[in-house]
Chain A
């Protein structure tokens, strides 16, 4: 007998999993808010959040209240948004391009967004009209178009897009370095380089108001096209033969990916490995169906990024590591483990 349809089966198990993952994310964010140079008990954190959200009047020092709300909670929520958005971008690109290595960082989209942001920040590109985020978005889109055109010109195919992405990343990283070394003063240069490795320092609430909605919209859009992404399993022609409007789906989803990547890069710099590793980890846990893979990627990406931020703040006393360094340090071995676990019988 054929096993019963998965949908509707064991719904309580799926619901429990969703609730559990949100509890873990909430706990991780609480930890992120409590841990730091000034250690704040979880209880104080809860009170501070409650004071702001529900208007309660727990007795708290103004410093604690300020640290929790203005510095650490915004930072943790931004980390969660960025992790979710980057992991979603990776999952979408891997499905659309049918390449397990596809993700914004590898394809040069992050590098293009960096170049766009740096061009606005240092060169004053756009005469003050363009914001940093808009510059990053334009850079991301230009990079993606360039990389796609290069891949198509090289004959198309799943491996060409990665080779083109490598070329694109090198080009845009070189452009960024060129702009920084020729035009930036020493202080700007140090700030930019730190930011290019990924950094959550200096994140405040307005950044969250940009990042969180972008991540949520990206999630909603990609979930709407989850079945279309499944249909790409056997390639573009197979998807079209299943009735998928392939051009529309590709444009919308690649646009969503560019938007998410650009928004995150403009705030936290280009952070590698999250988009690559997290979708693979999620696939390992919930399988390849995008109806489950996309939410799993988003939530695991969020949890991973908040955890990486905690690690980046405590691994070296008195010093904060760029978060991109932490994600790569943990991501690379995790990726090796996934490859090893998922290896095929020869």
Chain B
């Protein structure tokens, strides 16, 4: 497995936010993390790259427990795209993407050709190579998200974690970003709200509710009318799309 999460618990302020979660993600696969607000999606992503320490349970990258890994070694392997991370600093697109090389550089080592290649490839992946000189605060929300993804790609990770990467994006950029991530040869975990996009782009889905996994499997197995009613409190009608062959959720108001 690329990422193995076994019986992980984590609490904050006396509340159990992550309550015994176990998930495995195979190398190169894309896992969609679904669930209502506050179900523990963001917390789980932070635990996987050890921004928070698990209270109990084990998270492993490959066969290595992350609890015993150096922070730098985790960062060389796992990249995280947070929700809406922004800055007041007058940084350019290139400055931000270059930050992705931080874990691969010593404090005094010079900028290398490999660093250059990683940054250029990352910018090309998100379609922003000619915008590298633009200032951060002049970018739209969608462009900022793409820059963050480029920064994460410049980290040349084998595991990529994205926390609601399509928030605030128009539909064209939502599709672009998700198809980009789905095609990348890395293991990805994406926290998502849009069930239809999750069904279109993810190999597997895991649904969280109150800090527990309530369903895992392929989109076909996971996305059922009963589950959506139980977890999201919404009535839905699900069919296989005649256009792209994946599950499609119709919401019902009656």
| Chain A bound to chain B | yes
A296 to B40, CA, bound (A): 44
Q: Say how far A307's CB is from chain B's closest CB, in angstroms.
A: 26
Q: Which residues of B contact A242 (CB under 8 A)?
A: 75, 99-100, 102-103, 155
Within 8 A of B (CB), among A63-100: 98, 100
- Check A241/B79 contact, CB under 8 A, given A2-B132, A233-B99: yes
Q: Say how far B77's CB is from chain A's closest CB, in angstroms.
A: 10
A7 within 8 A of B: yes
Q: Say how far B12's CB is from chain A's closest CB, in angstroms.
A: 14
Q: Which residues of A contact B71 (CB under 8 A)?
A: 240, 243-245
- Of all chain A residues, the one with the shortest Cβ separation from B52 is A237
B246 within 8 A of A: no
Contact stretch, chosen from B111-119, B184-192, B196-204? B111-119
B242 within 8 A of A: no
> Do the beta carbons of A5 and B111 come within 8 Å of each other?
yes
A245 to B50, CA, bound (A): 12
> Do the beta carbons of B86 and A234 come within 8 Å of each other?
yes
Q: Say how far B48's CB is from chain A's closest CB, in angstroms.
A: 11
A6 to B110, CA, bound (A): 11
> Do the beta carbons of B99 and A231 come within 8 Å of each other?
yes
Choice from A4, A100, A224, A227 contacting B102 with Cβ under 8 Å: A227
> Do the beta carbons of B102 and A5 come within 8 Å of each other?
no
Within 8 A of A (CB), among B77-99: 78-80, 82, 85-91, 94-96, 99
> Do the beta carbons of B90 and A288 come within 8 Å of each other?
yes
> Do the beta carbons of B49 and A241 come within 8 Å of each other?
yes
Q: Which residues of B contact A5 (CB under 8 A)?
A: 111, 115-116
A287 to B119, CA, bound (A): 19
> Do the beta carbons of B90 and A283 come within 8 Å of each other?
yes
B23 within 8 A of A: no
Q: Say how far A234's CB is from chain B's closest CB, in angstroms.
A: 4
Interface centre among A283, A288, A342 (most CB of B within 10 A): A288
> Do the beta carbons of A288 and B49 come within 8 Å of each other?
no
- Check A2/B94 contact, CB under 8 A, given A242-B75, A243-B76, A345-B138: yes
Contact size class for B?
35 or more
A51 to B66, CA, bound (A): 63
A304 within 8 A of B: no
A230 within 8 A of B: yes
A1 to B87, CA, bound (A): 26
> Do the beta carbons of B137 and A344 come within 8 Å of each other?
yes
A225 within 8 A of B: yes
> Do the beta carbons of B110 and A233 come within 8 Å of each other?
no
Q: Which residues of B contact A100 (CB under 8 A)?
A: 88
Interface size on A, residues (CB 8 A): 35
B129 within 8 A of A: yes
A295 to B49, CA, bound (A): 33
A202-219 CB mask vs B (1 if < 8 Å, else 0) is 000000000000000000
- Of all chain A residues, the one with the shortest Cβ separation from B86 is A234
Q: Which residues of B contact A7 (CB under 8 A)?
A: 110-111
Within 8 A of B (CB), among A5-39: 5-8
A100 to B85, CA, bound (A): 17
Q: Which residues of A contact B11 (CB under 8 A)?
A: none
> Do the beta carbons of B75 and A241 come within 8 Å of each other?
yes
A265-300 CB mask vs B (1 if < 8 Å, else 0) is 000000000000000000100011100000000000
> Do the beta carbons of B85 and A2 come within 8 Å of each other?
no
Q: Say how far B131's CB is from chain A's closest CB, in angstroms.
A: 10
Within 8 A of B (CB), among A178-215: none
B51 within 8 A of A: yes
- Of all chain B residues, the one with the shortest Cβ separation from A247 is B71
Q: Which residues of A contact B95 (CB under 8 A)?
A: 230, 233, 287-289
Q: Which residues of B contact A245 (CB under 8 A)?
A: 71-72
> Do the beta carbons of B119 and A288 come within 8 Å of each other?
no
A61 within 8 A of B: no
A4 to B85, CA, bound (A): 26
A244 to B107, CA, bound (A): 11
A235 within 8 A of B: yes
A145 within 8 A of B: no
B235 within 8 A of A: no
Q: Which residues of B contact A243 (CB under 8 A)?
A: 71-76, 102-103
Beyond A3-B94, A237-B46, A241-B51, list 16 extra A-B contacts (CB 8 Å): A2-B120, A2-B129, A5-B115, A228-B102, A234-B85, A238-B85, A240-B51, A242-B102, A242-B155, A243-B73, A243-B74, A244-B102, A283-B90, A289-B95, A342-B90, A345-B138
* 20 A-B pairs with C-beta separation under 8 A: A2-B123, A2-B129, A3-B132, A5-B111, A7-B110, A8-B110, A234-B96, A234-B99, A237-B46, A238-B82, A241-B49, A241-B51, A241-B78, A241-B79, A242-B100, A242-B102, A243-B73, A287-B90, A288-B90, A344-B137
Report the 5 A-B pairs with minimum CB-CB distance, sorted nearest first. Answer: A243-B75, A243-B103, A7-B111, A243-B72, A234-B85
Residues of chain A touching chain B, judged by Cβ–Cβ distance below 8 Å, are 1-8, 98, 100, 224-228, 230-231, 233-235, 237-238, 240-245, 283, 287-289, 342, 344-345
Residues of chain B touching chain A, judged by Cβ–Cβ distance below 8 Å, are 46, 49, 51, 71-76, 78-80, 82, 85-91, 94-96, 99-100, 102-103, 105, 107-108, 110-111, 115-116, 119-120, 123, 129-130, 132-133, 137-138, 155
